[in-house]
């Protein structure tokens, strides 16, 4: 609340689960903007997951491009 970020990028299921108050174990919400108390949230894969699934790096890059567009940086 003190920082008031424009966007929060959740890296991995655990952080997304706690911020978004969800119990869904799937990544069905990955890459889709969510809301947390008026703050835009972008859930995406954890960097460690990408070490074992490098083919998912493209998905994370697309997620981060969405965030950059939202912030007017792309």
Digits of tens for pLDDT over the chain (74 positions)?
688 899 999 999 889 999 998 877 667 889 999 999 999 999 999 999 999 999 999 999 999 999 999 999 86
* Per-residue model confidence (pLDDT) at position 74: 65
Q: What is the pLDDT of residue 27?
A: 75
pLDDT of residue 8: 95
Show the 3-state SS of 32-71. Answer: CCEEECCEEEEEECCHHHHHHCHHHHHHHHHHHHHHHHHC
Q: How many residues does the chain have?
A: 74
Strand partners, 35: 40
pLDDT of residue 28: 83
Instruction: Please list, in sequence order, all residues whose beta carbon lies within 8 angstroms of the beta carbon of residue 35, skipping any fewer than 6 positions away.
Output: 41
Angle at 57 between CA 44 and CA 19, to 5 degrees: 10
The reported pLDDT for the residue numbered 26 is 66
């Amino acid at each position: 609340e003190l920082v008031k970020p424009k966007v929060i990028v959740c890296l991995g299921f655990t952080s997304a689960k706690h911020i978004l108050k969800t119990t869904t174990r799937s990544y069905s919400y990955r890459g889709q903007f969510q809301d947390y108390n008026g703050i835009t949230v972008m859930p995406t894969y954890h960097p460690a997951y990408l070490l074992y699934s490098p083919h998912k790096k493209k998905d994370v890059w697309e997620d981060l491009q969405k965030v950059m567009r939202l912030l007017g940086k792309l």
